[in-house]
Structure 1
Amino acid sequence: MRIVLKYAYIWSMKARLNLTIDDALLEHVKGYAVKQQTSISELVENYFKSVTKPVKRKNILTMVDELKKPTKVDTKADLKELYYQDKAKKYGF
């Protein structure tokens, strides 16, 4: 029995970016990076990823839950007739 292992290495190219920021802010950012055990470059990269990430589409059920709730609904009303009456008022027929 012969076992062959193949590996694929995937890496992305990185580019250098120069930023100009206030000295006092830089000191705060350095302190924050140390507390988070990360680098300033990684903080900036993660921030750019977060602001450029496409917005997730909402689930239809979530959108329905977010709709404004009616204040009072007559359970005995003919909703179809009320719909047509409303359209007749709106379009004048």
Structure 2
Amino acid sequence: MKRRLNLTIEEGLLKSMKLHAEKQHTSVSDLVENYFKKVVKPIKKESFMDMVEKLGPHDIDPKADLKEMYYQDKMHGH
């Protein structure tokens, strides 16, 4: 169900938005509604595993001492 909403907008901006809406083959109401939908849409939080999967393949030996590798790297200024 749609409801009417009255907005007060600077006249020049409204004229610009009407032209923009016309070029996009839509209405100012649809532009405002779509903007509102984006604003209230919940942000999907990535899980830790999603982030790890984005890292892709690696060439680290699974038996390597990661803590030792970290400190060696720190000592050599990397």
Q: CA deviation at 1:38?
A: 0.2
TM-score (norm 1): 0.54
* Larger Rg over CA atoms: 1
1:45 to 33, 39, 58: 33
2:10 to 22, 42, 56: 22
Distance between the aligned counterparts of 2:50 and 2:19, measured in 1? 40
Q: Give RMSD over aligned pairs.
A: 2.6
Distance between the aligned counterparts of 1:24 and 1:30, measured in 2? 10
Distance between the aligned counterparts of 2:25 and 2:2, measured in 1? 21
Structure 1: give runs of 5+ residues left out of the alignment. Answer: 1-12, 67-76, 83-93
- Equivalenced residue count is 62
Identity of aligned residues (%): 57
In structure 2, the residue matched to 1:32 is 20
**Superposed counterparts of 1:1-93, under 5 Å:** 13-64=1-52, 65=54, 78-79=65-66
Task: Tell me which of the two structures has the higher relative contact order, counting C-alpha pairs closer than 8 angstroms and 6 or more residues apart.
Answer: 2
Deviations 1:53-86 (A, max 9, x none): 00012143443357xxxxxxxxxx745xx5xxxx
Runs of 4+ residues deviating >2 angstroms? 59-66
Q: CA deviation at 1:45?
A: 0.3
